Amino acid sequence: MTLPPIMVAPNGARRRRSDHPALPETIPQTVETARACFAAGAGAIHAHVRDGEGRHVLDAGLYRELMAELAREVPGMLVQITTEAVGRYTPSEQRALVAAVRPKAVSVALREMLAEGVTPEVRGFYRDMAGAGVMVQHILYAPEELDRLGALIGAGELPGEEVQLLFVLGDYAMQGGSEPAQLDPFRAALGRFPVAADWAVCAFGRGETACMAEAFRHGGKARVGFENNLLNADGSVAADNAERVREVAALPGCPAGRAAVTG
């Protein structure tokens, strides 16, 4: 299976509604945002859930509730859950969440899941997800991480079928700082990767739109939204996540944003 060309990441783990009044925190707000972003061209949503105080949590019950609401209100939209640790969750807790929820898709930061090494539990997690048909998207913050993933796949330590990748450009510490040239080292590492892979890009700050355009030019896909950036290409603050999706969906070379998951 492959992911749609555009995935929206509407909130993330760190930003709050105080950062932007249209950033969703509750499940009803996330569902409303998903509906608008689907209409704007996003075929998938990268979903975080928050507790009653608006804090990022890896909570299986909340994820099941959100997924059920999204299936009812936006049935054509793929839901990808996150295992983001934010310095709070261990690899074991991350694996337990995915085992409990069994989503269609999940994002897993390689550096977080392998923080304690390539243990039998880690190998078993990736094998189990592959066997269950769960689309695991490997989040990679540096091209060296892509090389490491390739070495593990080449050695048979991790599954190498239907590999999904997300390249992260810029970061919070840089106050954005993303630019299209940052994709070049990832593309070079992709040329060394041992198997075919479906890849996408997310980018921090105002450079997000230009980075998405660069990804499309080279056959990649886009993850866009308030998790990483609140600004349009012209520097104006976007009204909501749907506005960010519309700008990216209008880029040259972007396939139909709502293209169904294939496979």
Question: Where does the pLDDT of residue 256 fall: very low under 50, low under 70, confident under 90, or very high at 90 and above?
Answer: low
pLDDT of the residue at 172: 66
Name the percent of the chain lying above pLDDT 90.
91
pLDDT of the residue at 93: 98
pLDDT of the residue at 253: 87
Q: Which residues contact 31 (CB under 8 A, 6 or more apart)?
A: 66, 69, 70, 73, 74
Q: How far is CA 133 from the centre of its chain?
A: 18
Q: Is the pLDDT of residue 263 over 50?
A: no
pLDDT of the residue at 177: 80
Instruction: Identify the burial level of 102 via C-beta atoms within 10 angstroms of its C-beta, where 0-12 means exposed, 13-18 middle and 19 or more buried.
Output: middle
pLDDT tens for 145-154 read 999 999 999 9
Sign of CA dihedral 200, 58, 68, 100: positive
- The token duo for 64 is 């099941």
Q: Is the pLDDT of residue 234 over 60?
A: yes
Q: Count CA within 13 A, CB hemisphere, residue 252.
A: 4
pLDDT tens for 16-45 read 999 999 999 999 999 999 999 999 999 999
Q: Which residues contact 227 (CB under 8 A, 6 or more apart)?
A: 9, 10, 11, 12, 13, 15, 46, 48, 202
pLDDT tens for 100-142 read 999 999 999 999 999 999 999 999 999 999 999 999 999 999 9
Q: Is the pLDDT of residue 259 over 70?
A: no
Strands 56-57 and 49-50: antiparallel
**Residue that is written with structure tokens 């349009």 in the block:** 232
Cα(99)–Cα(95) distance, integer angstroms: 6
pLDDT tens for 74-102 read 999 999 999 999 999 999 999 999 999 99
CA distances from 76 to 12, 35, 151 (A): 22, 10, 36
DSSP H or E run through 63: helix 60-73
CATH of domain 6-249: 3.20.20.70
For the chain, how long is the longest CA-to-CA vector? 48
Q: Is the pLDDT of residue 258 over 60?
A: no
Question: Where does the pLDDT of residue 171 fall: very low under 50, low under 70, confident under 90, or very high at 90 and above?
Answer: confident
For 25, other C-beta atoms within 10 Å of its C-beta total 22
Q: Which residues contact 177 (CB under 8 A, 6 or more apart)?
A: 170, 171, 204, 205, 207
Residue spans of the domains in the chain: they are 6-249
Q: Is the pLDDT of residue 174 over 70?
A: no
Q: What is the pTM of this model?
A: 0.95
Q: For the chain, report the end-to-end CA distance as a whole number of angstroms.
A: 4
Helix (H, G, I), strand (E, B) or coil at 74: coil
Q: Is the pLDDT of residue 208 over 70?
A: yes
Cα(59)–Cα(37) distance, integer angstroms: 24
Q: What is the mean pLDDT of the chain?
A: 94
Q: Count CA within 13 A, CB hemisphere, residue 262.
A: 6
Question: Where does the pLDDT of residue 175 fall: very low under 50, low under 70, confident under 90, or very high at 90 and above?
Answer: low
Which amino acid is it at 190? Answer: L
34-62 burial, b for 16+ CB within 10 Å, e for fewer?
bebbbebbbbbbbbbbbeeeeebbbbbeb
